Structure formats: C-alpha cells, structure tokens
Structure 1
Amino acid sequence: MAMPLRQSMRLGAFLFKQKLLRREKFALLLELEPLFACNLSCAGCGKIQHPAALLKQRMPVEQAVAAAEECGAPMVSIAGGEPLMHPQVDEIVRRLLARRKIVFLCTNAVLLPKHLHRFAPHRDFAWMVHIDGLRERHDASVCKQGVFDDAVAAIRQAQAAGFRVMTNTTFFDTDTPGDVIDVLDYLNDELGVENMQISPAFAYGKAPDQDHWLGVEATRGLFATAFADGRRERWRLNHSPLFLDFLAGKVDFRCTAWGIPSYSLKGWQRPCYLLDDGYAATYRELLEDTDWSRFGRGRDPRCANCMAHCGYEPTAVIATASSLRQTLRAAVGG
C-alpha cells in the first residue's frame, strides 16, 4: 500500500505549486532536530556522540517553528535525540499544526506514557515510534533490554487515546527477509499501527556499530524477497510505490538530498542528516551554496551503499507526480 491518501493529496498539491512557480529545488519534509540528547544509546546512531555542552542544549520554540516556515516544507519530522526530552516539544507540535504542517514526532516511546497527556490527537499529527525488529532484535539494536515491550505498551496506550501511530524500522545486514516479514506482519496485523516506514541502514559515521550496514545488492535482495507473494501490497507502508520499487531493485534513482533538509542546533546540515559536511546559517544558503551534484551513489564514495529514504524517497515522489500512470498507481495503493 502507498502513503495515506490525505498525505498524498497534500504532497501532490504542493508539488503542483512548485511546478507552477518553476522551482527546481524545494523541501518536501523538514527533518527537525531540536536536541541531540537521548535516553538510549542505540548501536546505529551517533547523535549522542556530540560534546556534553551541546547535548544539554534545547532549541527554542520560535527557532524551531521559524525553520519550518523558512524552508516551506508541508511536512515536519521532529527527531533528535529523543524529542520527548525537550521540555517544550508539545508547544513546537501545536505551533506547527497551527501552520497546517503535517507533523511526525519520532520517539523510542520509552518516555511516551509520561508525556502523552501533553498532546492532543490531531489528523495531521502522528507518533513515529522506532521499532527495529521483534523483541530480541529491537532490544539488541537499542542496547537495552525491555525497550521493545515498553514501546509496544506505549503504542497501545496512544492508540487507545485516539492518536495516530506509525512506526519507523531500519534494517541491517544481520536481518533476513524473514525478519523483515515477521516485524512488518506484527506491526501491520497484530499491533495495527496506521502506517510503517522502512529504510536500509546507512553507514552513519559516528555510529558505534560500523560493521553491519547493508550494501546496495544486499538491500535489493532483502526487500525483493520480503515484498514477494503479495506481502508488499498488504502492508500499510508509508512510502510511494516507486520508492518500494527502488528498494527491491526494480528501478534506480539519483539522490535528491535537498528534498529532506535537516535543521538542528548547529544549523542547516550539508547535504543531509546522514553526512556532515558543515552547516549553513539559512535555508537559502543551504540550497544555493551546496554543490548537490557531488552527492549520491556513483558521485561520493560515502554514498556508495546508501539507499536511505531521506535521499531517494523525494526522487520517487517527484517522479510519481511527473507521471500520470505512477500517480494513478499511487492513488490505488501501488
């Protein structure tokens, strides 16, 4: 299945507007990081490797909202770190919703029961809970036992309170097609989350684990097998059909790193949140002073094995909007 209809319609209208305005580069989704601190030390994440002084900082509400307004993206993903450690993250969410943004709050869900009362269900707001596999696999990924059970309990609590709940799952070279099938079946059928987001792991430079990243061919083989026998069409995946084709090796794309810019306490990160080639002070500076032609598979050796959604989902979405056939395909669920 493709991404939710409301989300697809908002994206379609946004893309049509960019075409009318003849804009070549624009943000589809803002990756907003109002803090780097986290309550977990996941093997595949390097955010908490920042200096202690930076880990103590929290982005002011006005600065966070201004970044969303500055880039103009219709969607905002609030990440980190762990956003629920930010004392005013609920106010950031409310302010963004008031500006008609579609907002996802990414969380490991450990702190969610304690903070759920600070938020209200909204059709444009969803919890994006990090789930990297079933119990044993997930707890190994986050380097702490019991987190899977805590996350599942928090998801059920949020669902019962009327919130939209989605999940985000990253796969590594230790995962088999069976692992992919098992976790997506569980999330889709038993836990009943609204939509699921998936991505192959990227060799993030500061991550503690540097040994289990997926290569391109391994990624294609993993997802081609997992998607077979009609499973892909049954799962409620929060992706365009063309991006899922890309993961399975049916099509190939060039990276569109500017489509999902990253803004944090350090500024606008070049060129994406996975690479760290410095920071721009403004969104305009990021767009105009970054040599985007240098990045992506075949152009930068650091990108050789990257098939992450932050670079290739925007390409797939733009390709979908440029084709009547693909637009109709996305509209009927892939």
Structure 2
Amino acid sequence: MAMPLRQTIKVATYLIEQKLRKRDKFPLIVELEPLFACNLACEGCGKIQHPAGVLKQRMPVAQAVGAVLESGAPMVSIAGGEPLMHPQIDEIVRQLVARKKYVFLCTNAMLLRKKMEKFTPSPFFAFAVHIDGLRERHDESVAKEGVFDEAVAAIKEAKRRGFRVTTNSTFFNTDTPQTVIEVLNYLNDDLKVDEMMISPAYAYEKAPDQEHFLGVEQTRELFKKSFAGGNRARWRLNHSPLFLDFLEGKADFPCTAWAIPNYSLFGWQRPCYLMSDGYVPTYRELIEETDWDKYGRGKDPRCANCMAHCGYEPTAVLATMGSLKESLRAARETVSGSR
C-alpha cells in the first residue's frame, strides 16, 4: 500500500475515534472545489459546464478552510476546475497543512512549474497530477497537444524540489490492459511518483464525450487483466487492497457516498462529488437531510455503472476496519509496500 505510514496511522486513529463516538456517518476526505474554471476542456469531464459568471468566481480562503474544519475530515482533495488558477490557492493549502490536514492538490500541471514556488514541501501536502495515459492517449483525453510533456516536466521538477507527487488516472472503454499497464509502469518506474490513484471514469451527464464510459463488467475485465502478472503488487497504488479487489471483480459492495463529501462554490453537494441533486449550506444538513438510501447501483440509474473510487474506496476502508483479517492485510501491505 503506497500511503505513507504516518498518514495511515492518522486515518486509522480517526476511524477508531468515530467508532468510539458511535457516529454512523463521517467524512474520510473532503472534495473541495474552490473554483470551476479550468484551462483545459477534457472530453470526459462534467465539472466545468457552468455560466461565465460562475466560472469567474473564486472561493474565499476562510470559506474553503472553514468547510473542511466544519466536516472534521482528516484529508482534503482540492479539485475544480484547475485549482492553480485560484489566486490564493497557496494560502488555502498553507492553512490546511498548518492544521495537519493531509492535502492533495489536483492539477493538470499546465501551471505547476510556474506556480510551484508558492508552495512548500510537507509530509502533509502532495500535488496530484492528472495523467490518463502516455503522450498520445493523454493529450487526446484533454483535447490539447503538449499537455503530457508539460505534466511530465512538472512532475520531475516537483520531485527535484522535494514535493510529494501523486497521480490520478481515469480509464475509459477505449483503454486496454496494455494502455493501463504502460502508463502505470511509466509513472511507477520511470517518473517514480509517490502514489498513483486509478478509477474508471464516471458517466457525467454534461461530459462532451458520452460514448466511452466503462460498464461494470468492462471495468472488472480491464483491471483483472491489468493487475495480472504481479503488476498490482508492484505498483504504488494509493488504494486499499479491498478496493482493488472490487475493481477486478473479486469483491463487491455498495457505495458510501457520504464518506467523501463535496464542497464547492454552491455549498455541500448532494449526494456526492459526481452527482448534483442540490446543495445545502452546512455539513450537518448534508448528512442528516439527504436520503442516502435512494442512491447506489440498483437504486438510481445514474449509479448503474459507477465504480469510482470516491464512492467505493470509503466502503472498502470501512470494511477493512471492521475485519481483523483485512486490517492485518492492509497493515502488512502498508509496511511492506506490496499487495
């Protein structure tokens, strides 16, 4: 397991505290969107289709930090849009890190080399760079040539300066086991990023490309073949063993949408990062007033083919904590770095 031991211990301690407090719903990580504007228009993205007035808005620092503190989550993923377009993104990160929150700043890396000097390396902070494939595949995904090369250059520079660097890779039905293996081998062995996150793409209703999202069986087949031959054990994947079992069809469980809540310019989004059925101003309202039972595969047609990490990784983590066998497995793999 690629997650640093210190972070693993903090998250495990947090989960134990929630259990002792008998809380049945709590956040593992907040998806924070301090803006919707982006400097790319990715074919599979459904997050930036907003009126021009909304795209010009930037969340104030106090509001962004306050939302995370309100939730109590130990980790934050700053998304968007492109977070590096926010003029005070460094201050948002600084204040969250000062409170010992683990912060992942998601970026397409087009501005990363230019903005990198505004940040300070910390064990509580990582750049999470979007890389969907090797050069041709990635540039096609983001609809712009040269993005892959710039992202690679930025990753190398960030690593040189001592930053933790993780990657996010999203896969579609145009991917094959070979394309998955090629990009993860490159990230793991050549760029030597600290951790890699992977996920099948979610079928956003507003995404420009509606033809290339994976179905459940396609997802399982893709990852089963990609993980074969010892690849899964070798790659530094930032996922629980059970979630990886889930991706390749060895395990199945429901999503846990409430565990990775989304906070944006509009407020707390119902029910999850991927679906927007409305917004509420407080975290308590999100948790207490959302009908969580009506979402998930077999309940809402929009969930039918979803196997995204933001819905199912929390389920895997909670199932791990509830099983001595799985807890020992996760602990062993955290220490050994293998799966």
Map 1:1-334; keep pairs closer than 5 Å: 1-333=1-333, 334=339
Q: Deviations over 1:241-297 (max 9, x none)?
A: 000000000000111000000000001000001111000111000001100001111
Does structure 2 retain, via aligned residues, the 8 Å contact 1:3–1:240? no
Question: In the comparison of the two structures, how many residue pairs are matched?
Answer: 334
C-alpha distance in 1 between matches for 2:331 and 2:180? 25
RMSD (CA atoms): 0.7
Does structure 1 retain, via aligned residues, the 8 Å contact 2:2–2:237? yes
C-alpha distance in 1 between matches for 2:245 and 2:292? 24
C-alpha distance in 2 between matches for 1:234 and 1:270? 37
The one-letter code sitting in structure 1 at the alignment partner of 2:55 is L
1:2 CA drift (Å) = 4.7
Q: Deviations over 1:190-244 (max 9, x none)?
A: 0100000000011011111111000000000000010111110000000000000
Secondary structure at the counterpart of residue 129 of structure 2: strand
Unaligned runs of 5+ in 2: 334-338
C-alpha distance in 2 between matches for 1:319 and 1:184? 27
The one-letter code sitting in structure 2 at the alignment partner of 1:120 is T
Unaligned runs of 5+ in 1: none
C-alpha distance in 1 between matches for 2:313 and 2:6? 18
The one-letter code sitting in structure 1 at the alignment partner of 2:314 is P
Secondary structure at the counterpart of residue 277 of structure 2: coil
Secondary structure at the counterpart of residue 276 of structure 2: coil
The one-letter code sitting in structure 2 at the alignment partner of 1:281 is P
Q: Deviations over 1:32-65 (max 9, x none)?
A: 0000000001001122210000000000000000
Secondary structure at the counterpart of residue 10 of structure 1: helix
C-alpha distance in 1 between matches for 2:92 and 2:195? 23
Secondary structure at the counterpart of residue 48 of structure 1: coil
The one-letter code sitting in structure 1 at the alignment partner of 2:150 is D
Does structure 2 retain, via aligned residues, the 8 Å contact 1:2–1:331? no
The one-letter code sitting in structure 2 at the alignment partner of 1:106 is C
The one-letter code sitting in structure 2 at the alignment partner of 1:125 is F
Q: Which runs of 4+ in 1 moved over 6 A?
A: none
Secondary structure at the counterpart of residue 196 of structure 2: strand
1:100 CA drift (Å) = 1.0
Secondary structure at the counterpart of residue 229 of structure 1: helix
The one-letter code sitting in structure 2 at the alignment partner of 1:199 is S
C-alpha distance in 2 between matches for 1:172 and 1:160? 32
Does structure 1 retain, via aligned residues, the 8 Å contact 2:2–2:194? no
**Percent same amino acid among aligned pairs?**
70
2:336 paired residue number: none
Secondary structure at the counterpart of residue 253 of structure 1: coil
C-alpha distance in 1 between matches for 2:184 and 2:131? 10
Q: Deviations over 1:88-115 (max 9, x none)?
A: 0000000001111000000000100110
